[in-house]
């Protein structure tokens, strides 16, 4: 079954809605100067509150080129299950993280299938080290949450070659089914696409998860 990550969670109520709706991951931001950034005390409240609903949902902390000791301190303080690395972190850096890792690999908005021969190599480098990978749209100076897509055929070509990843970038309840059908990713990741006026919209969260799961079930049944 497709994995679903609801990112940019800023309070326990939104996290619990996502967990109850069937999300596999909820993401909380610790990147300085990001508008969805939360305080460590809120992160810990979200982690504990989600586990009160279910232990099946993993709480993911988002970081970007931050000192490793700072990251590991937040992982412990906030009781995070996973750290998502959104910057230029290396495999060696990821090896020092005190929990499982998701590494974001950014794809240019002008990328076309076959135009970046190193993309698959970068993805596989982290997969070979035991990490999950997210493909997201490259926007200079911003690490995710931009609501912008990239050419899904780029991701689809990687999927057809056997690469496993989460797909992010401009996904919404309306297009997530098409994205899954086109790309066949291991999972999907959304933040701004389930918001209304900058706040998480509970109906959009539920619709996104339902649409993703229904599409994946239909594809599995037909395949």
Q: Write out the catalytic residue numbers.
A: 7, 136
158: CB partners within 8 A, 6+ apart = 119, 120, 123, 135, 165
At residue 16, φ and ψ (nearest 5 deg) are -70, -35
Q: Which DSSP string corresponds to 140-203?
A: TTB-S-------HHHHHHHHHTT---EE-SS--TTTHHHHHHHH--SEEEESGGGEETTEE-HH
Q: Is the dihedral of CA 83, 31, 18, 149 positive or negative?
A: negative
């Amino acid at each position: 079954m497709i994995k679903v990550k609801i990112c940019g969670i800023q309070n326990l109520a939104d996290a619990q809605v996502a967990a109850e709706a069937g999300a596999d991951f909820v993401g909380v931001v610790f990147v300085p100067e990001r508008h969805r950034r939360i305080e460590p005390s809120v992160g810990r409240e979200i982690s504990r509150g989600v586990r009160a609903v279910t232990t099946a949902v993993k709480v993911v902390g988002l970081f970007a080129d931050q000192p490793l000791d700072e990251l590991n301190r937040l992982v412990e303080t906030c009781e995070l299950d996973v750290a998502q690395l959104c910057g230029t972190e290396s495999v060696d850096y990821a090896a020092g993280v005190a929990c499982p890792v998701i590494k974001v690999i950014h794809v240019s908005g002008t990328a076309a299938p076959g135009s970046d021969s190193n993309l698959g190599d970068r993805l596989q480098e982290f997969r070979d080290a035991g990490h999950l990978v997210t493909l997201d749209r490259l926007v200079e100076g911003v690490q995710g949450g931009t609501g912008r897509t990239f050419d899904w055929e780029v991701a689809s070509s990687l999927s057809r070659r056997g690469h496993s990843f989460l797909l992010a970038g401009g996904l919404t309840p309306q297009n997530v089914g098409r994205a899954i059908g086109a790309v066949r990713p291991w999972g999907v990741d959304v933040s701004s696409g389930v918001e209304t006026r900058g706040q998480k919209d509970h109906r959009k969260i539920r619709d996104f998860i339902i649409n993703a799961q229904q599409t994946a079930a239909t594809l599995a049944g037909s395949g």
